[in-house]
Chain A
């Protein structure tokens, strides 16, 4: 079975994916809603920025994040002024990296779902006496449910497989910032193929099951 260090890596990975997904859904919802409805001239710029992690090498992203989070970087200076620590090589830093890295995987399905609802159901709800907040929770949110399932699972699964960004800003501190994908890399480096197999297989299975859930659940929505 897994040794203690690998168990730590698994635990950190799951915790990172869960926290990142929650942050992503919270941040991604208003962003996706805005992108789906705005006529602002900045829409294209924001769209391009959100999609950037899809094409950028994770090391590039990680490099800039490292600079920003480091003690002399802009974010690092702010956090030092506020709390006294830097975020580089910490779990919080990993969350920030993961959120940026997985942003398009959450924002795109939500944007798509909000766009598909169109203005009509919200107008109908208004004529039936539903105020702004009520319309959002009573109509938009439930109608966007398939989009939320896709966004949550894609965000979670994509964070599970993160490597480059984590390596750049998290270092590889066992028990603190060492995640599964890096543990696998370490095992291979030290020719521990048995352990590498176990972790790799675990990630493969987990990712497959998650994607299978998305497709099954969302298909059922469409039929009923």
Chain B
């Protein structure tokens, strides 16, 4: 939206002190897209967003594109920072209609030539019929859509989303998630998305910043961060890898779609051919992947891909985690320690990954 955001760079290096809690955050985002801020509750995710927006006082540097929002010499107040902030609760202005809410930020932050007009945002978020209504009486999902639209119409260089789905029930969550994906595709805008849901992270995030006890522990591309064995995400019960693939066909008689990446084919339930030729994200849970040394032919498992062992993490537990390279994409396999020893898995070894189930995100 804003030309400076095209450059996309976001550099954060700040510290916050609030009573006994202290936050130290340092990370960079190099391109527009969704960066997930992931961590347990109490890790300091919300404090980080508030500090970037200038709502909580922080020491240090925040730079968005070419603009310095704060450093040693200056500190911009919140209203001087071109930021969009979507809070956990929609927090709409109850004295204004939906249209009044949408126009609040638009009227205050001068509209340039490249400003998305009200109409475009309204149609993107399907708010047409809501415009004249009072915000009281809207459903949770509708309210959050208005809040997102309101933030976007203030022409931000950076959009901050603080668990925007957490106040919604399951069906509204999915609906809003779909809207967020549309936004992600259509707006060239860096977004920081706070979440403690691995599902949301896998689905939306291009990059990931991991937080623990008030500190940013690691950051990088989401697909890499999800599968790094030295990070807690790969130790989760639902640890999963995200693979990018194209839908190439549909086997009508079996109700399966075919997805390809490189020479590998994966079968996914349902007809997904309507997505066309765009790259899609598939999630493969570590516990659904087993390993064999030879290609099995007489097996019920359809998805078998060749892979190379990148890393094996063997601890004291009966389970161990194997990180695999499959045509340049990373898979995780959780197998028993006994199997790893029996197969005598070595780094660099070639194996076959048998994938029991694949989900389209």
Contacts and interface: CB of A to CB of B under 8 A. Distances in A.
Contacts of B136: 224
Nearest to A124: B91
Contact of B105 (A128, A143, A145): A128
Interface stretch (A50-58, A104-112, A129-137): A129-137
Interface in A120-151: 120-121, 123-132, 134-135, 138-139, 142-143, 145
A224 B104 contact: no
A129 B157 CA distance: 13
Contacts, number: 65
A114 B60 CA distance: 33
B95 A143 contact: yes
Interface in B74-108: 77-79, 81-85, 87, 89, 91, 93-95, 104-105, 108
B154 A128 contact: yes
B95 A130 contact: no
Contacts of A224: 134, 136
A121 B154 contact: no
A126 B108 CA distance: 10
B79 A121 contact: no
Given A134-B108, A143-B94, A126 B77 contact: yes
Given A127-B55, A224-B134, A224-B136, A143 B79 contact: no
Contact of A126 (B79, B82, B93, B134): B79
A126 B150 CA distance: 13
B151 interface: yes
A129 B109 contact: yes
B79 A120 contact: no
Contacts of A131: 77, 79
Nearest to A139: B93
Contacts of A120: 87, 89, 91
A127 B85 contact: yes
B49 to A, nearest CB: 10
Judged by DSSP, the binding face of A is: helix
B108 A124 contact: no
A132 B93 CA distance: 16
B93 A143 contact: yes
B55 A126 contact: yes
Contacts of B55: 123, 126-127
**Which among A124, A130, A134, A142 has the highest number of chain B CB atoms within 10 Å?**
A124
Nearest to A128: B105
Interface residues of A, number: 20
B165 interface: no
Given A134-B108, A224-B134, A224-B136, A127 B93 contact: no
B331 interface: no
B239 interface: no
Contacts of B79: 125-132, 134-135
Given A127-B83, A128-B150, A129-B105, A121 B93 contact: yes
* Residue from A129, A135, A142 having most chain B Cβ neighbours under 10 A: A129
Interface in A179-224: 224
Nearest to B82: A129
B78 A126 contact: yes
A142 B154 contact: no
B192 to A, nearest CB: 13
A129 B83 CA distance: 8
A80 B64 CA distance: 61
B205 interface: no
| Residue of A120, A130, A135, A143 with most chain B CB atoms under a 10 A cut-off | A130
Contacts of A127: 53, 55, 78-79, 81, 83-85, 105, 151, 154
B93 to A, nearest CB: 6
Contacts of A139: 93, 95
Nearest to A135: B79
A142 B96 CA distance: 9
A138 B93 CA distance: 10
Contacts of A129: 79, 82, 105, 108-109, 154
A125 B79 CA distance: 8
Interface of A: 120-121, 123-132, 134-135, 138-139, 142-143, 145, 224
8 contacts: A123-B55, A125-B93, A126-B54, A127-B151, A128-B104, A128-B108, A145-B95, A224-B136
Given A125-B93, A127-B154, A130-B79, 19 more contacts: A123-B55, A123-B78, A124-B85, A124-B93, A126-B55, A127-B81, A127-B84, A128-B104, A128-B108, A128-B151, A129-B79, A129-B82, A129-B105, A130-B104, A134-B79, A134-B108, A135-B79, A139-B95, A143-B95
Please list the 7 inter-chain residue pairs (A to B) with the smallest Cβ-Cβ separation, ordered nearest first: A128-B105, A129-B108, A126-B78, A127-B85, A142-B95, A129-B109, A126-B79
